[in-house]
């Protein structure tokens, strides 16, 4: 009997769990790599390594030491870029070049690409090169502006600034957060927020899932998504066209490509692009909202298989949501109470328990819940009540 192939996954968060389950089902051995022993993905892998998934040297060392055959990046931009560096060295399946990977995942490079291709984009300037943090006042046309590190995801280090005093403070905050010198300052666009997750083949979209995004305590961290999105067909087609222009320009390899979008009504702007797995069980969300095998196709290129076209792009009869459960304050969990929403629950994935401690309520989650609704209006009404519902009940101090 031939030896089982081994896959290294360079992260071990909840987002990697669907991948780990699938790989085990189809006969692969798995190794998870992350710098925290308690990361939930380690429970689903055959072997685990405690190391830095953002460090290409450590990924390479683990890949060789564990005799791995394939490499899959985690749901983190640092993991994606480090894995692309290793993949380029070993000529591994499924990756773009390191240069192309940076052009997509570094925000300043993405904006320059959008500008080059005449795609909609916010007005922006980049500072910080050669440690020069001076702000060119003549290039700030109006406030508010949004300040971002070029290399961070999940809203980390992002600030909305309404004057120069706030702007100077935000720039200093980014310098502490970011690993890169560059800092991007953009005009603040007002619109609705959405995600579009696609599978591309030969630079064309062969599958897409689109959603509305929700934000609660942390205004820069996606707290939930719902399908179908409220974007109309014209906006959706514009975004898909923009994605394919990027794919052609960069000669992107087949596989997953996920974008976040700001819908301005008259047009839409791609705010983020990533080729790594979206976080917080988005793979499961996209898989559930269509009859397409999204989870397998999102990792096929990494394990040497070809992505397959979809038979059904949209499922118009399904109204589905994915909600991250955040506590409203730090402290010890007393109870997780979902009774108010019981009749809508399709599936739960809760990894924290009563008695465990929350130290960063804006970013830490206790679990993820999937909901199924009868119609679009009901879905929007129920989701809006989440911002007022105390689901994760904390002990009194």
221 in a structural domain: yes
195 bridge partner residues:
211, 260
106 in a structural domain: no
Residue that finishes a domain, picked among 92, 108, 141: 92
What's CA 271's distance to the chain center, in Å?
Answer: 12
Output the pLDDT for position 314: 55
Q: Which two tokens stand for residue 190?
A: 């007002």
**Residue 365: is its pLDDT beyond 90?**
no
Residue-wise pLDDT for 317-361, tens only, equals 899 999 998 888 888 888 889 998 999 999 999 998 998 888 888
Q: Which two tokens stand for residue 40?
A: 């939930």
**SS3 readout for 283-296:** HHHHHHCCCCCHHH
Residue that finishes a domain, picked among 170, 187, 204: 187
Distance CA 223, CA 111 (A): 25
Q: Are residues 131 and 182 in the same domain?
A: yes
Q: Are residues 361 and 212 in the same domain?
A: yes
Distance CA 370, CA 386 (A): 13
CB neighbour list of residue 119: distance below 8 Å, 6 or more residues apart: 242, 245, 246, 270
What's CA 67's distance to the chain center, in Å?
Answer: 29
116 in a structural domain: no
**Structural domain tally of the chain?**
3
Q: Which two tokens stand for residue 162?
A: 């309404």
98 in a structural domain: no
152 in a structural domain: yes
Q: Are residues 128 and 43 in the same domain?
A: no
The range of the structural domain enclosing residue 25 comes to 6-92
Mean pLDDT across 5-32: 95
CATH of the domain at 135: 3.30.1490.20
Q: Are residues 172 and 287 in the same domain?
A: no
pLDDT over 90 percentage in the chain: 68
| pTM for the full predicted model | 0.92
**Residue 57: is its pLDDT beyond 60?**
yes
Average pLDDT, the chain: 91
Mean pLDDT across 376-383: 93
Residue that finishes a domain, picked among 171, 187, 203: 187
Place of tokens 């450590």: 58
Distance CA 226, CA 87 (A): 34
Q: Residue 316: pLDDT band by 50, 70, 90 thresholds?
A: low
Distance CA 352, CA 358 (A): 9
Q: Are residues 176 and 200 in the same domain?
A: no
Residues 392 and 369 sit within 8 Å (Cβ to Cβ): no
């Amino acid at each position: 009997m031939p030896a089982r192939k081994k896959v290294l996954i360079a992260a071990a968060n909840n987002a990697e769990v669907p991948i780990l389950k699938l790989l085990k089902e189809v006969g692969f051995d798995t190794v998870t790599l992350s710098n925290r022993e308690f990361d939930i993905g380690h429970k689903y892998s055959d072997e685990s390594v405690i190391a830095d998934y953002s460090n290409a040297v450590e990924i390479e060392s683990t890949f060789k030491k564990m005799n791995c055959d394939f490499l899959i990046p985690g749901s983190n931009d640092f993991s994606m870029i480090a894995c692309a560096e290793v993949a380029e060295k070993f000529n591994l399946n499924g990756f773009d070049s390191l240069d192309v990977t940076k052009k997509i995942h570094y925000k300043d490079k993405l904006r320059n690409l959008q500008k080059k291709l005449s795609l909609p984009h916010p007005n922006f300037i980049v500072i910080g090169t050669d440690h020069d943090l001076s702000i060119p006042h003549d290039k700030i046309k109006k406030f508010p502006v949004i300040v971002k590190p070029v290399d961070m995801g999940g809203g980390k280090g992002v600030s909305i600034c309404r004057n120069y005093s706030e702007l100077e403070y935000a720039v200093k905050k980014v310098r502490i957060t970011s690993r890169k010198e560059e800092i991007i300052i953009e005009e603040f666009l007002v619109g609705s927020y959405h995600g579009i997750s696609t599978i591309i083949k030969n630079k064309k979209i062969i599958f897409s899932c689109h959603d509305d995004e929700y934000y609660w305590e942390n205004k820069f961290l996606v707290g939930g998504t719902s399908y179908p999105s409220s974007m109309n067909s014209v906006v959706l087609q514009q975004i898909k066209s923009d994605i394919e222009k990027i794919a052609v320009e960069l000669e992107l390899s087949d596989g997953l490509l996920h974008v976040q979008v700001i819908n301005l009504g008259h047009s839409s702007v791609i705010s983020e692009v990533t080729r790594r797995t979206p976080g917080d069980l988005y793979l499961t969300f996209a898989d559930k909202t269509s009859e397409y095998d999204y989870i397998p196709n999102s990792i096929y290129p990494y394990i040497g298989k070809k992505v397959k076209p979809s038979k059904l792009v949209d499922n118009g009869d399904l109204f589905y949501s994915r909600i991250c459960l955040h506590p409203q304050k730090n402290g010890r969990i007393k109870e997780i109470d979902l009774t108010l929403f019981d009749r809508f629950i399709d599936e739960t994935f809760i990894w924290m328990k009563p008695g465990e401690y929350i130290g960063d309520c804006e970013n830490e989650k206790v679990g993820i819940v999937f909901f199924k609704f009868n119609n679009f209006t009901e879905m929007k009404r129920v989701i809006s009540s989440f911002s007022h519902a105390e689901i994760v009940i904390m002990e009194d101090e």
